[in-house]
Structure 1
Amino acid sequence: MGLVIEGHGTRITARRAQRTARIDGASTQAQHERIKAYLTKLHTALGVTQPVDIDVHETPRAHTGLGSGTQLALAIGTAFARVTGHDLPTADIARILGRGARSGIGIHGFDHGGLIVDGGRSTAHTETATLPPLLARQPFPDAWRVLLIDDTSREGLHGDAEKRGLASLAPFPAALAAHLAHLVLMRLLPAVAECEFDIFADAICDMQQTIGDYFAPAQGGVFASPAVARALQAVAAEQKAGIGQTSWGPVGFAFVAGAQQAERALATAQRAAQQASLSFSITTARNRGATWQAADSRASGADAA
């Protein structure tokens, strides 16, 4: 399950290059190399010989649990396809670029926005398996707010460290999986559909505790960042809030019922930060997918949420 949010997005422009392709605006050398690899895969898969320039205007910090890698890949792939005259479904772009190996949330979210529930991937599936199916897509209440807290001194597990972390964990207990399924189907989705914030918040806290306890041996606790945990717990102690962590973190979130509650939650979290390396932002859900537009007569761009 995942929610598409406003802000913290990815915005890039692709243009047909006259000679040698260039990549401008990458935030790190690793991101530059990743984009270069994506372009190579796209050229090969689509049989395109003309070089394509990429300008990166905005991306979230990598490895924070906000799905930045998937959104960057899909934005690059969408813009590349448009500028080279190909009409490709997002699922095909994801397959070409090797996204969706564990989850389809970021891919379905790119297309639709809102609150997304997918069917997951069976352990029997191979690398050539289809995208995990979209089971539910629910518009998220406009009034509800999300406080995001990022520990900028940390990154979430990724790459080989993530693989080792997953391998170190015991199989997820069937009873816990059933409990999470019940939370999603019987509490979270109905609460969102009926705008019942208190029920939603309680279910989010229950889900975070259940998942966090399971992943604690790999990430060092229910939350990956003790400072983020401290700030979120302070918010939850002061008002009704649904607190949790984005994937491997370190970003944590607190859902609150409205704009005033969000400002109060922000002030509380900042007081609890105790000079930690935390950054804060307030956002809302994005109930629409990514957008693209022609940049000029020679170019197409993609703006990914």
Structure 2
Amino acid sequence: MREMLQIEAPARLHLGQIDLNGSLGRLYGGIGVALEGPRTVLLAEPCSRLVVEGLERERVTKIARTFLERTGIEGGARLQVTEAIPPHVGLGSGTQLSLAVSLALARLHRLDLTLDDLARITGRGHQSGVGIGIFRSGGFVVDGGIPREYDRPDVEGYVPPIIFQHPFPSSWYFILITPTNTSGYSGSREKEAFAAMPPIPPEDVGLVCRLLVMQLLPALLEENIEAFGQALSEIQWTIGKQFAPVQGGLYSHPAAEGIVRFLLNSGVAGAGQSSWGPTLYGVVAGEEAAREITGALKKYLEAEDIPASVSCLPARNRGARVSWTEEG
């Protein structure tokens, strides 16, 4: 039997960027929530060289090599991903994988590094700190963005502060829809898209901030799903119209507008697109209602000939789980 380090990291929904104007001196800022599935599971054990097995080998190898080079570690590890968040669909796979791999290497080589250190080393969190906050604590997260002077290609290493984190109501469920055979922006493509976008008008930024502070967050704390969903949908619409010139509309997938309309007409409290998509979501009170709407949605997708994966699940109110396990 071999003792192995196991790290389990959750997927997340990115519910919107707060400020793409930057006139107050900060840019971006993000809103997000951790999910009870899917997840990334990484097994790691000491090894004199880097050995990568299982899923996501190419990405894991790149992350691990970057970490080893930047920390000056001589040696490696045996790394195996046994479960993986689907990549490039808006569920935060890149940040969770980067943090899981770098945390495993830091633990195995006994480096005293914080989560923010790991994010800096692996180059995560520039446009959004949501994934870092999700990895740390789960739940519902808001990050405070970055100083505008750090928004340059030659600057790395600023990790946005988490300005709000709170457990998400356990009785609220998300319905997830991921159209197949398509992917959202990530990596250099994402950076190019942000660079191509015109600044969001300050009045729209003001509306998003007002909806966040005076409706969305109070509704979360009071567990008022109708007010929460209304604010969420309006935030999504306000932000979506700014992304439209880059992604081709309010949403990245041509069928998304019809899917969101179906969700809202079926009784979800709020709906939108996670990050650059293509994953869409609706939020509803109660597992029974969520499963009823999910069943109806599957029939709608079949009738409209829209291939997609569909699931319903609650939020996750804990961050990444780190443990030791025995493998035969």
Secondary structure of the structure 1 residue equivalent to 2:200: coil
Question: 1:233 deviation in Å?
Answer: 1.3
Q: Counterpart of 1:57? A: 82
- Distance across 2 between alignment mates of 1:50 and 1:121: 34
Alignment of 1:5-154 (within 5 A): 5-17=35-47, 19-27=48-56, 32-125=57-150, 127-154=155-182
- Distance across 1 between alignment mates of 2:187 and 2:45: 30
Q: Counterpart of 2:323? A: 293
Question: 1:88 deviation in Å?
Answer: 1.8
Structure 1: gaps of 5 or more residues: 298-305
Compute the TM-score of the two structures, normalised by the length of structure 2: 0.85
- Distance across 2 between alignment mates of 1:37 and 1:161: 18
Identity %: 35
**Aligned partner letter, 1:22:** V
Secondary structure of the structure 1 residue equivalent to 2:146: coil
- Distance across 1 between alignment mates of 2:116 and 2:192: 28
Q: Counterpart of 2:295? A: 267
Question: 1:48 deviation in Å?
Answer: 2.1
CA 1:169–1:103 in structure 2 vs 1: closer, same or farther (change >3 Å)?
A: same
Question: 1:158 deviation in Å?
Answer: 2.4
- Distance across 2 between alignment mates of 1:54 and 1:43: 13
Q: Counterpart of 2:252? A: 224
Question: 1:221 deviation in Å?
Answer: 1.1
8 Å Cα contact 1:256/1:262 also seen in 2 = yes
8 Å Cα contact 1:223/1:229 also seen in 2 = yes
Q: Counterpart of 2:242? A: 214
- Distance across 1 between alignment mates of 2:91 and 2:166: 19
**Aligned partner letter, 2:39:** G
Q: Counterpart of 2:275? A: 247
- Distance across 1 between alignment mates of 2:63 and 2:193: 26
**Equivalent residues, number:** 292
Alpha-carbon deviations, 1:85-132, whole Å to 9, x = none? 223211100101111111111001110111001101232115245311
**Aligned partner letter, 1:143:** S
- Distance across 1 between alignment mates of 2:250 and 2:212: 20
- Distance across 2 between alignment mates of 1:267 and 1:226: 22
8 Å Cα contact 1:5/1:285 also seen in 2 = yes
Structure 2: gaps of 5 or more residues: 1-30
Secondary structure of the structure 1 residue equivalent to 2:141: strand
- Distance across 2 between alignment mates of 1:152 and 1:240: 23
**Greater shift in the superposed pair: 87-96 or 249-258:** 87-96
8 Å Cα contact 1:156/1:224 also seen in 2 = yes
- Distance across 2 between alignment mates of 1:72 and 1:115: 20
Secondary structure of the structure 1 residue equivalent to 2:255: helix
**Aligned partner letter, 1:114:** G
- Distance across 1 between alignment mates of 2:32 and 2:273: 11
8 Å Cα contact 1:21/1:52 also seen in 2 = yes
Secondary structure of the structure 2 residue equivalent to 1:37: helix
**Aligned partner letter, 2:228:** F
Query: 1:180 aligned to 2:205?
Result: no
RMSD: 1.6
- Distance across 2 between alignment mates of 1:206 and 1:137: 21
Q: Counterpart of 1:257? A: 285
**Greater shift in the superposed pair: 107-116 or 76-85:** 76-85
Secondary structure of the structure 2 residue equivalent to 1:9: strand
Query: 1:284 aligned to 2:308?
Result: no
Question: 1:185 deviation in Å?
Answer: 0.6
Alpha-carbon deviations, 1:155-180, whole Å to 9, x = none? 00223432332232211111111111
Alpha-carbon deviations, 1:134-173, whole Å to 9, x = none? 1111111000000000011110022343233223221111
CA 1:48–1:159 in structure 2 vs 1: closer, same or farther (change >3 Å)?
A: closer
Secondary structure of the structure 2 residue equivalent to 1:4: strand
Question: 1:193 deviation in Å?
Answer: 0.4
**Greater shift in the superposed pair: 154-163 or 111-120:** 154-163
8 Å Cα contact 1:232/1:269 also seen in 2 = no
- Distance across 2 between alignment mates of 1:46 and 1:294: 24
Secondary structure of the structure 2 residue equivalent to 1:287: coil
